């Protein structure tokens, strides 16, 4: 039974200071011994934008320097790297996360499906839908979702049906409800869940957002095996056993996927 090393990085970006953030991220992860490294949503730019003008200015295509930076880190550290960034694609702007794999030239990109709070002022709704990145070298199937996607049971369920062993969730969480729900996502789907949240605050005009940290790695029984502090940067590394999630049975008779009865789920899709 093969284990791999999963690293979840809690990181507090400096608002709009992309180069500074990339440099601090490099310090945090360049010597990390891990097979997968997960960073927060929008970790290179900060979060609390209020207009497309602001996000446009920081947005980059997949071929841009931010993706190149993470692709290089991925190559150097021989790890899959997952990180949130502002993506420009034609005249659209997405709240995206890249999945950089060693040996690949460009990363895969997931575009956030469910937009939260004031994000619709700054981003287009994601158009990639959910997909799973199969990493055959490390024998792990990675299903990305971003922050508010957590609240929709459909997100993690679709990723599981597509074969995810590990759901990675770069986040900028400002409420606590996710801490009640994420263990359920792990249990109902029998998958690992890695939430890389950010910490710190951002104030725009009269409104301050407090990002709640507490990044957590859940095993497939919904147990929080590592939880970071509520504030501060932190790197958590743990072993996971992706192949153990592929047998979806949990007793001699029941299986969380085989027992599904999709003909009774018509209103969902």
CB crowding 46-77: b at 16 or more within 10 Å, else e: bbbbeebebbeebbbebeeebbbbbbebbbeb
> Which H or E run contains 104?
none
In the complex, minimum distance from the CB of residue 204 to a copy of itself, in angstroms, rounded to a whole number: 15
In the complex, minimum distance from the CB of residue 125 to a copy of itself, in angstroms, rounded to a whole number: 7
Name the active-site residue from 18, 112, 190, 212.
112
Q: Is 41 a catalytic site residue?
A: yes
Name the active-site residue from 18, 41, 54, 87.
41
In the complex, minimum distance from the CB of residue 140 to a copy of itself, in angstroms, rounded to a whole number: 20
Q: Count CB atoms within 10 A of the CB of residue 88.
A: 17
The binding site for a copy of itself (CB under 8 A) comprises 113-118, 120, 125, 129-130, 148, 151-154, 157-158, 161-162, 177, 180-181, 183-185, 187-188, 221-222, 251, 253-254, 256, 259-269
Distance between CA atoms of residues 31 and 254, nearest Å: 43
Instruction: Name which of 1 and 269 has its Cβ closer to a copy of itself.
Output: 269
Name the active-site residue from 43, 67, 147, 169.
147
Q: Count CB atoms within 10 A of the CB of residue 121.
A: 13
Q: Is 54 a catalytic site residue?
A: no
Q: Is 57 a catalytic site residue?
A: no
Q: Sign of torsion, CA 178 184 189 191?
A: positive
In the complex, minimum distance from the CB of residue 57 to a copy of itself, in angstroms, rounded to a whole number: 23
> Which H or E run contains 75?
helix 65-77
Task: Give the closest residue to 183 by CA, choosing from 141, 142, 214, 229.
Answer: 214
Instruction: Name which of 24 and 112 has its Cβ closer to a copy of itself.
Output: 112
Catalytic residues: 41, 112, 147
């Amino acid at each position: 039974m093969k284990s791999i090393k999963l690293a979840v990085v809690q990181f507090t970006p400096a608002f709009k200071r992309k180069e500074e953030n990339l440099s601090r991220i490099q310090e945090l992860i360049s010597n990390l011994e891990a097979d997968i490294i997960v960073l927060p949503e929008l970790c290179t730019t900060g979060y609390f934008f209020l207009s497309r003008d602001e996000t446009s200015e920081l947005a980059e295509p997949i071929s841009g320097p931010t993706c190149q930076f993470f692709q290089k880190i991925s190559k150097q550290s021989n790890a899959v790297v997952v990180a949130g960034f502002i993506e420009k694609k034609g005249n659209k702007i997405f709240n995206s996360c890249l999945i950089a794999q060693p040996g690949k030239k460009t990363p895969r990109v997931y575009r956030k499906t469910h937009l939260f709070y004031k994000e619709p002022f700054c981003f287009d709704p994601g158009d990639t839908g959910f997909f799973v990145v199969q990493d055959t070298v490390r024998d792990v199937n990675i299903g990305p979702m971003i922050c508010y996607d957590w609240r929709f049971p459909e997100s993690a369920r679709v990723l599981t049906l597509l074969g995810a062993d590990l759901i990675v969730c770069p986040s900028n969480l400002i409420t606590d409800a996710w801490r009640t729900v994420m263990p359920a996502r792990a249990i109902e789907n029998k998958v690992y869940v890695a939430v890389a949240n950010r910490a710190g605050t951002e104030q725009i005009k009269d409104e301050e957002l407090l990002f709640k940290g507490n990044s957590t790695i859940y095993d497939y029984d919904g147990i929080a095996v590592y939880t970071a502090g509520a504030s501060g940067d932190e790197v958590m590394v743990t072993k996971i056993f992706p192949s153990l999630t592929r047998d979806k049975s949990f007793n001699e008779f029941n299986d969380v996927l085989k027992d599904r009865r999709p003909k009774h789920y018509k209103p969902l899709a």
